[in-house]
Amino acid sequence: MSSNPNLPQVLRADKAFIAKLKTIPKGFAHYITFESFVDEVAFSEGESFTVLPDEFNYLNDEDIVRITPNKEHIRVLYRKKATNNTIMITEQCNHYCLMCSQPPKNQDDSYLLSEAFNLIKLIPKNTKEIGFSGGEPTLFGERFLELLEFTKSHLPQTGIHILSNGRAFKDIRFAKRYANINHFDMMVGIPIYSSNPSIHDYIVQSAGALDETLAGVLNLKRLNQKVEIRVVIHKQSIEGLLDLCEFIGRNLLFVDHVALMGLEMMGFTRANLDSLWIDPYEYKDILSDAVSILNSYKLTTSVYNHQLCTVNKDILPFYRKSISDWKNEFAPECDGCKSANDCGGFFSSSLQHRYSDHIKAL
Amino acid sequence: MSKSELTLKFDERVYSVETIQKAAYRFINKFTVDFELIDRDILCHIIFDSEHSDSQLQKLKADFKKEILDQHLRQLIAKETETVRNLILSATFLNTGLQKIE
Amino acid sequence: MSKFKGLESYAAEDSAYELLPFKFDRFNDESYIITNIVGEYLLIEHEDLEALVHRKLDVTSRLYCQLRSKHFIRLPKEKSPIELLALKLRTKLSRLSQFTNLHIFVVTLRCDHSCPYCQVSRQSEDKSSFDMTRDMADKSLDFVFRSPSPAIKIEFQGGEPLLNFELIKYIVESAESRNRVAARDLAFVIATTLSLINDEILDFCKLHKIQISTSLDGPEALHNSNRPKPNKDSHQRFVAGLEKARARLGYDQISALMTTTELSLDKVKEIIDEYLRLGFKGVFLRPLSPYGFAIKTKRFMAYNTERWLQFYKSGLDYIIELNRNGVEFSEYYSSLILKKILSAQESGYVDLMSPAGIGIAAIVFNYDGKVYASDESRMLAEMGDRTFELGNILSDSYEDIILSDKLLDALEESFTLSAPMCSECAFEPYCGSEPVYHHAIHKDFLGRKPESEFCKKNMSIFKHLISLMESSSDTKKLFLGWANR
């Protein structure tokens, strides 16, 4: 979509215009407006338009949305201003993680992959990075690799970040095919929750998972591919967190990034809240030690999805404002906080369901 | 001060001479051991380098016996892990391509 | 009925584990230490050790988790423990494929100091019969560039190498011109007391990116009594030289080593303070080695290993306290060992290598054309033990020297994985074989380990470092930092 009324006619034919004023430029394929503007905007005959709820008011130039023909469903697929745009290409998964934010569905959803191909064509060429996630994107096998190649061709300057459990890469042929895409900036983010296979396998609800994931990580690094280890911190992973950090330092020193992440209150997390929830404030010293260990091993380390008032000061060099900007919200306790600008804030799901009891204005 | 010699008896079905020899090597700076095999018994004649009090002798004797137990356990482990050890070594020397990864 | 299975479903088969290779030793009266082939360790009770071997471990215990994640056991199906162990072992052994990268040139034996513990020097400053010739230097450089190592370090030693600065200039320039074709990662170091440093030398060092390795034994009085000069101005000249060199070459281009003499033993705090005062980031607490004049003058025997360990431990305590108070400072010998204990990396320190670092990690071209397997080897030769004299650079070829029986025998016999006691020692992954040391004392390459002071010293240090880490998480954090510098 476009918000540019001066866009040359020739470029208007395949774009939707975001109409918020009375006079609207002619010649766009479609028009989008919002409930509170709908009375002001004067559409001409023959112009097709969609009225969206005001909560979509943030949509802006070069954003991409998907609206079903009956206009019952709308999904925002790409936001120009977001620092990371992630495309979900499947809801199927061979894990069943206790804290999955996107509970897997075991049904054919290859239409999502087809959509992704279409979407890639629409994304602006100067986009810095896009992500692919699932479910488990590698379950599509060869088709997934084709999507990566396609993306490389259409968005040659765009970095690619893939969220995967890494198990598919245990097959060295698959890993080689992946490496042969030869992308200048492509990284796989792979979750590891414990150095103890039983705990990891329990958290992802799949026996033998850690062993295969590690084999995948090793294959990727053998082929000089970028790998990020992602650790979600919760009640099941906190106890072994320091052991895990030492394990990474001793065994996986060659990974490119380690992310220690707070829990998102989506999907299964809410169902399993009792066995997952631990107040970040309670584990802040462990988090400091974890970062200190990783940093000692000179691993590039980031802390994601935490609020500044729940972490110790020594975390600050590693603290990232990671929560996507349109999800970035604050709690009532944050009123008057001078650090809000530097703080990642909350997932709206956290504000709704559960967040630290120790949130306070700094 | 007490005598500086001592004899210990072990059953060959429980401990090998090699096990006891290995244990004895660790005490080379304190005593030497002569071995004598009689039927199924291994007799260890221990000759101490210097004079020791009774309690010191008892301590050395206990340490030596403990060391024999440890050596026995070491051999169990070595035997049991031999195959996997070779597996690791062959993986170490045969695989290529990872040296570059630091 | 939950869609999720409990933890027990994923731990059900766990008691059917398989042992991975490991070694154990008594650590202290209460506990045992177990180490695997890449040096990961755990301290455990004796009954846990028995339980581990006899499959009686509680699979829900923390120990069981640790044993699995540190690769002491695996489930039979698991492949990643083998792969990861192999990978780490390969990293540790990778220096073997690098081959010789430290080449020591003894450009002169002359010295302006007359240190009583010095292994190798001659006071007479004017006798050119103690200088290396250009012909020897050329032949030695032929040898250097035969080394397959991608990184080549040339270190100038003496005596006082600056007394033959002309030859240093010649060697640096020749090496650089050869390297225009050879294209190695070439680096130079001069080991000097700094007493003779001047602007001309510094300009040359600056131009050719030569680093300085120097000696500081402690505060003025101690330093001067350890390192006598006719004018008793060794320390004063050191401080002046240090300042000058730092200003010209850069603060981090100058490192210092200390030697512990009998006089140093109760002054460890003062020594460390002197290093602090002069802006060093750490100190290498080094015992006297049993070579050369050190033995002749009985200085080496003037204190025993036990006493040195006391010195080392109280020094380390003080350094840990400094760090606790926010002063970053480290002890380098500990750092080298901690690297082996806490990381998959190897320190490459010649004394702690197996097979021995001699010939492999370092080789020495002596002022008289003789080639030695290590710096200590030539010191031993100065005492009359020529075991590690590999040949003569003027008459022997590269192959003669590098494949000499003397070197190969020493290497083979010193391989700790096959040595009595070492082969089953839990500390073996952290240790080295030091055949030169053992030959100096015991007249064979291995020494009898129960009697070896080398063994005693290192075992005590290993245990001490591990005890410190186990008893304080702050110390563990600090040590992790040292290990990964």
CB count, 10 Å around CB of A344?
A: 20
Contact: A222, B102; criterion CB under 8 Å: no
Give A316's contacts (C-beta < 8 A, 6+ positions apart): none
Q: Is A277 on the interface with C (CB under 8 A)?
A: no
CB count, 10 Å around CB of C291?
A: 26
Tokens of C83: 């792969």
- Among C108, C160, C111, C162, which residue's Cα sits nearest to residue C136? C108
Nearest CA in chain B to C46: B70
Pick from A201, A205, A247: which is nearest to C4 by CB? A205
CB < 8 Å to A222, chain B: 97-98, 101
Tell me the pairing of strands A186-191 and C210-215.
unpaired
Nearest CA in chain B to A223: B97
Stretch C439-455: mean pLDDT, rounded?
Answer: 71
CB < 8 Å to B95, chain C: 86, 90
Q: Which residue has the tokens 């300085």?
A: C212
CA dist C258 and C440 (Å) reads 22
> C294 pLDDT exceeds 80?
no
CA dist C226 and C216 (Å) reads 10
Q: What are phi and psi of A287, to 5 degrees?
A: -60, -40
CA dist C462 and C485 (Å) reads 19
Give B101→chain A minimum CA distance, Å. 6
Q: What is the pLDDT of residue C432?
A: 77
Q: What is the pLDDT of residue B96?
A: 47
Residues of chain C whose beta carbon is less than 8 angstroms from a beta carbon of chain B are 18-26, 37, 49-50, 53, 82-83, 85-87, 89-91, 93-94, 97, 420-421, 424, 448, 450-451
H or E, element range at C44? strand C41-45
Q: What is the pLDDT of residue C332?
A: 93
Q: What angle do CA C29, C35, C39 make, to 5 degrees?
A: 130
CB-count burial class (<10 Å; 0-12, 13-18, 19+) for B51: exposed
Give C142→chain B minimum CA distance, Å. 28
CA dist C232 and C476 (Å) reads 42
- Among A29, A80, A73, A38, which residue's Cα sits nearest to residue A58? A80
Q: What are phi and psi of C457, to 5 degrees?
A: -60, -50
CB < 8 Å to A202, chain C: 5-7, 9-11
Q: Is B81 on the interface with C (CB under 8 A)?
A: yes
Q: What are phi and psi of C187, to 5 degrees?
A: -140, 150
Residues of chain A under the 70 pLDDT cut: 324-328
Q: Is A308 on the interface with C (CB under 8 A)?
A: no
CA dihedral A200, A205, A208, A213 (to 10 degrees): -60
The predicted-structure confidence for B34-73, as pLDDT tens digits, reads as follows 888 888 899 989 888 888 888 888 888 898 999 999 999 9
CA dist C345 and C356 (Å) reads 17
> C418 pLDDT exceeds 70?
no
Tokens of C101: 């990268």
Q: Is A43 on the interface with B (CB under 8 A)?
A: no
Tokens of C58: 């509680």
Nearest CA in chain A to B95: A222
> B99 pLDDT exceeds 50?
no
3-state secondary structure of A295: helix
> C271 pLDDT exceeds 50?
yes
DSSP A65-85: EEE-TTS--EEEEE-TTSS-E
Stretch C431-453: mean pLDDT, rounded?
Answer: 71
CB < 8 Å to A224, chain B: 100
pLDDT band at C54, cuts 50/70/90?
very high
CB < 8 Å to C77, chain A: 208, 211
Q: What is the pLDDT of residue B101?
A: 36
Tokens of C234: 């060794």
Contact: B98, A222; criterion CB under 8 Å: yes
CB count, 10 Å around CB of A270?
A: 16
- Among C366, C443, C459, C290, which residue's Cα sits nearest to residue C137? C366
Q: What is the pLDDT of residue A218?
A: 96
The predicted-structure confidence for C78-87, as pLDDT tens digits, reads as follows 999 999 999 9
> C1 pLDDT exceeds 50?
no
Q: Is A218 on the interface with C (CB under 8 A)?
A: yes
Pick from B71, B80, B88: which is nearest to C86 by CB? B88
Q: What is the pLDDT of residue A107?
A: 87
Stretch C182-198: mean pLDDT, rounded?
Answer: 94
Question: DSSP assignment, residue A21?
Answer: S
Chain A segment 215-274 residues within 8 A of B by beta carbon are 221-222, 224, 253-254
Q: What is the pLDDT of residue C196?
A: 92
Give C19→chain B minimum CA distance, Å. 6
Q: What is the pLDDT of residue A105?
A: 87
Least confident range from A40-49, C120-129, C253-262, C342-351: namely: C120-129
Give C1's contacts (C-beta < 8 A, 6+ positions apart): none
Pick from A222, A253, A254: which is nearest to B97 by CB? A222
Stretch C147-170: mean pLDDT, rounded?
Answer: 92
CB-count burial class (<10 Å; 0-12, 13-18, 19+) for C239: middle
Pick from C4, C70, C480: which is nearest to A296 by CB? C480
Contact: C80, A249; criterion CB under 8 Å: no
Give B12's contacts (C-beta < 8 A, 6+ positions apart): B37, B40, B41, B42
Evaluated on CA atoms C349, C351, C357, C363, the torsion sign reads positive
Q: Tell me how far apart the terminal alpha carbons of chain A are, to the nearest angstrom.
A: 40
Q: What is the pLDDT of residue B102?
A: 32
Q: What is the pLDDT of residue C84?
A: 94
CA dist C235 and C177 (Å) reads 37
Touching partners of A (3+ C-beta pairs < 8 Å): B, C
Maximum average pLDDT range among C153-162, C398-407, C417-426:
C153-162
CA dist C95 and C101 (Å) reads 10
Tell me the pairing of strands C362-365 and C370-372.
antiparallel
Contact: C65, A251; criterion CB under 8 Å: no
